[in-house]
Amino acid sequence: MVPCPNSSAFRSQSSANGQTANVINGKSIARAIRAGIANEICRMKETIVKSPGLAIVLVGGRRDSRTFIRVKLKACEEVGITTYVEELPEECTEDEVLHVVSRLNNNPSVNGIIVQLPLPQHVDEERIINFVSPEKDVDGFHPLNMGNLAMKGREPLFIPCAPKSCIELLLRSGVEIMGKRAVVVGRSKIVGLPTSLLLHVSMPFSAFLWLFEVLSISSSSNVFLW
């Protein structure tokens, strides 16, 4: 249960056993974040006459991947980020994917690179992720960024967006993380693992229950604080 019933970002929800929990309204927070980003990009265009560029690499034609990309492109358009989409066929070689990533790494107009996952089975996902420049790894999956995320006192260049959004929702809703007990359901490298690392560096270790490794893991990740 997350205590902060007076915040406009919360609504109460009761369970069958009579306990209540506060559900965060992420939409209003997301609108505020996007408005702030749009203002920053406007100022950037006025001062240096440039806007940030995001490149997305899509291998194959999975419908779910295309849906995710459409959402990202729409969000970028709303705030003024220039986007580039590099599409490769399902049967392309691993070297062809590496060539595209290398070209984007060296393109000064591209400030961030997303390799849409999952990749086809014949392509080594880890090798492709590791080849993305850490300075452009906006997904935060490069070993340098994940390693720095795991170590106190170090700052990753980028943090995976889903875990970062979980923490951001809590902080913007006025939830005090320090001293809470937390359970992360799920341990994927995309959500569960980085979420647990973020909580680990945000609160004393004695207050963090590292239970995500021993729980029966669900297909999605959730964070519970009480």
Q: Which helix (H) or strand (E) holds 55?
A: strand 53-59
For residue 137, how far is the Cα from the chain centroid? Answer: 11
CA distance 37 to 17: 42
- At which residue do the structure tokens 């240096």 appear? 48
Out of 72, 136, 137, 180, which one is annotated catalytic? 72
Out of 136, 137, 139, 180, which one is annotated catalytic? 139
Residue pair 53/111 in contact (Cβ under 8 Å)? The answer is yes
Backbone torsions φ then ψ of 118, nearest 5 degrees: -85, 160
121 catalytic per annotation: no
Out of 13, 64, 74, 116, which one is annotated catalytic? 116
Angle at 19 between CA 13 and CA 23, to 5 degrees: 30
64 catalytic per annotation: no
139 catalytic per annotation: yes
Residue pair 23/42 in contact (Cβ under 8 Å)? The answer is no
For residue 145, how far is the Cα from the chain centroid? Answer: 12
Instruction: Record the tokens describing residue 50, joined without a space.
Output: 């440039």
Spatial strand order of the sheet with 82-88 comes to 82-88, 53-59, 112-115
What positions carry a catalytic annotation?
72, 116, 139
